[in-house]
Structure 1
Amino acid sequence: MTTNEIDGPLDEAFERLHACGPERLGRLSNHAPMVVESLAARGRADAVHRWLDLYRDRLEEFPGPVAPVTDADWREALGDVRRAADWVAFFTRALAERPWRDVLAAWWPRLLPGLYGAATHPVIRVGHAVRALRAEENAPRLAELAHALGYWAARHRPVSGVTALPGAATAAASLDAVPVVRTPSPGFPDRLAAVRSLPAWAADVTDPDTARARLTELVRAATHRYATHGHGEETMLVHAATAPNAVLRALDALPRALWAPSLHAAWTASAAVTAMYAPAQPVDCAPSGRPTAEEVLERALAHGDEHVIKLTDTALDVGDERALAAALRAVELSRPLA
């Protein structure tokens, strides 16, 4: 199979999706760009349009503009979801004028404090867009990065006032130490506002290579944890792994000076999602047999749920048996797409 045969459906899908908005019903993220990139990256570009046809009823038209975002007034528009189209237009112009890595490097530290908005979906979409661009740079993929960055800017939501609790030596133990919060509201914003304390982990890391190693450790720990804790909330707990993995995927396209701040933001995001949705008790999870990575991917694709596919994509990055068990646990817990 040639590169064009693999990449063609992805770029066609991106072009198809850029007529659609980043959300539907004013609060639910459009997962299609992330899923089609995952499928193409895993060698299943042949399934991209078939999956997208199943998902199309969950897509809404691209929103209308309000007023242009400019270099002089962008701070006023930050975090205003009504300005999503304006932000996409802003990044489209920026990416037409400068290399995409330069744009990403300039905006990453501005957007990083607000990666908690829209349940971390914007940064996840950026991570997928960066992986696509690192594989091949073309117009549809640059447009996808503009849409992803625009969504992040429009849903920018910082977290502040969180007290640091004593952490543990490892990411896994620190996730276990996260205090669970319970709120009457099931909504992400209200739950996030209720997170007042989180364990400190890797807070003293400043070396870029150490930051990368710790971020890799975090992705592995959060993915493994889903197998035993995913029943707390089968959809939302996926993001405890996929959000830090999106950050990890972006590191090589960023200046090394941004790697440590990226680790710290990713830890807070993963820990906060854990606090909001973790169950009271874990369960044993020992899948029968030892399925291969290819078999797990096929099961996720047959299931079709967008979060299942994205967690499977992250589990394949981790690559070990416990990660594959987590992906199969998501298949077991989640409702199929169709």
Structure 2
Amino acid sequence: MDTTSGTLDEALERLHTSGPEFRGFLANHGPMAVEALVRHGQAATVHRWLDDYETKLEDVPSPQDAVTDTNWHEALGDSRRVTDWTAYFARLVAERPWRDVLAEWWPRLLPGIAGAATHPVIRVGHVVRTLLEDGEEAPRIAELAHALGYWAARHATLPVSVNPTGTASPAEALAALPPVPEQQVLPLDGLAQLPGTPGWQATAESLRVPHDDPDAVRAQLTALVQATVHHYLDHGHGHGVLMVHTATAPNAVLRTLPALPRELWAASLGAVWTASAAITSIYAAPEALPPLEDFGPRTPEEIFARSAAHGDEHVIKMADTALDAAAWADDGDDRALASAVRAQRLISADS
């Protein structure tokens, strides 16, 4: 990744003048997309991409009342307090190492990982990857405060408690998930259907989570990312945009693991699997699409360049995760790469 041109930090500073959502509930994907663009060799396109994307964005919401060490419980999950939350985390990361702040707040925020369709944790995953691999410049520390503040403001627990204790692999568990009775509804309405969906909780709890072996947890989370990427290729057409998050959310957690105490890894796998399973049951198409035609041999670099040229933020994020999944396979993973192409075809450039 190009960390010397300043493009990423300039982009983050631009984005921090806008709020985390627009049109009432749509997430500002700018920080996630620009990080992926820079990482995959598309830094030269970032400011031009932002010039267009910023036309959608809205101003930072007005502050309401300061979040403090003593009153944060009452502000958790209050979307009106997002600017208060961002200011609170900005103070924390100014006073303490960012890893310490993340380790303290991760278990507090984790139960609400499904809030805002998992966008907050995805945003956290992108900036943590940069902080771990590319340096701790001030705009990146500020981005962590924005991401954690967004998560705290949109913190929302699922209406069903899931404790995965089974033996299933991610691919097996994904394949067995039943759809909710009324698919293709708003996420909040779909989540409300989970408790009444026969077999949903049992299937969600069938995943194997190796609680006593953090390294096995990381391997299982890696397998979950791979399985959700492959599942998108076949079933993502149920909702091309929202199904992207079934893969990008687990990958965000995977990217964050190295910055977290190992004792938090198992709970992180269980939480993000449950959120991904919920979105899958609400939006996955029941019937698989046939294999892509005219896919042909393409390099990961070519596929990402096509995703960048497409321009949609979800297409860019899906390519970013699909390329990760392909890179983990010893001999490559054509199905993972095809998933990135599938997103290009399912999602319109003006979605």
Output the TM-score relative to the length of structure 2. 0.92
Is 2:341 the partner of 1:328?
yes
Q: What residue number does 1:113 align with?
A: 111
From 290, 302, 313, give the equivalent of 2:297: 290
Q: What residue number does 1:86 align with?
A: 84
Q: What residue number does 1:171 align with?
A: 170
The 1:236/1:2 distance shift into structure 2, 3 A limit, reads: closer
From 111, 129, 153, give the equivalent of 2:127: 129
Contact 2:114/2:275, CA 8 A, preserved across alignment? yes
Structure 2 residues without counterparts, runs of 5 or longer: 327-332
> Bigger CA drift: 126-135 or 323-332?
126-135
State the AA in 2 paired with 1:113: P
State the AA in 2 paired with 1:308: V
Contact 1:205/1:260, CA 8 A, preserved across alignment? yes
1:4 aligns to what SS in structure 2?
Answer: coil
Contact 2:163/2:270, CA 8 A, preserved across alignment? no
State the AA in 2 paired with 1:183: E
Q: Residue deviations 1:39-92, cap 9 Å, x none?
A: 111121111111111211211000110000000010000000000000000000
2:67 aligns to what SS in structure 1?
Answer: coil
The 1:164/1:16 distance shift into structure 2, 3 A limit, reads: closer
State the AA in 1 paired with 2:46: V
From 226, 232, 248, give the equivalent of 1:226: 232
Is 2:322 the partner of 1:315?
yes
Structure 1 residues without counterparts, runs of 5 or longer: none
Q: Residue deviations 1:228-258, cap 9 Å, x none?
A: 1111110010010000000000000111111
Compute the displacement of 1:217 (Å): 0.2
The 1:181/1:89 distance shift into structure 2, 3 A limit, reads: same
State the AA in 2 paired with 1:274: T
* Rounded Cα–Cα distance in structure 2 between residues aligned with 1:260 and 1:215: 9
Is 2:186 the partner of 1:193?
no
Is 2:321 the partner of 1:306?
no
Q: What residue number does 1:156 align with?
A: 155
Q: Could you list the structure 1 runs, at least 4 aligned residues long, displaced by more than 4 angstroms after superposition.
A: 162-168
Q: What residue number does 1:49 align with?
A: 47
State the AA in 1 paired with 2:239: E
Is 2:20 the partner of 1:22?
yes
Contact 2:237/2:346, CA 8 A, preserved across alignment? yes
State the AA in 1 paired with 2:322: A
2:69 aligns to what SS in structure 1?
Answer: coil
Contact 2:218/2:254, CA 8 A, preserved across alignment? yes
State the AA in 2 paired with 1:238: V
Q: What residue number does 2:329 align with?
A: none
Q: Residue deviations 1:272-327, cap 9 Å, x none?
A: 11111011211122343111101100110111111010000000111121111000
Contact 2:124/2:252, CA 8 A, preserved across alignment? yes
Is 2:99 the partner of 1:101?
yes
* Rounded Cα–Cα distance in structure 2 between residues aligned with 1:89 and 1:155: 15
> Bigger CA drift: 195-204 or 222-231?
195-204
* Rounded Cα–Cα distance in structure 1 between residues aligned with 2:290 and 2:343: 14
Is 2:263 the partner of 1:264?
no
> Bigger CA drift: 192-201 or 239-248?
192-201
Is 2:221 the partner of 1:249?
no
State the AA in 1 paired with 2:70: A
2:256 aligns to what SS in structure 1?
Answer: helix
From 275, 281, 288, give the equivalent of 2:281: 275
State the AA in 2 paired with 1:331: Q
Compute the displacement of 1:182 (Å): 3.2
State the AA in 1 paired with 2:81: R
State the AA in 1 paired with 2:57: L
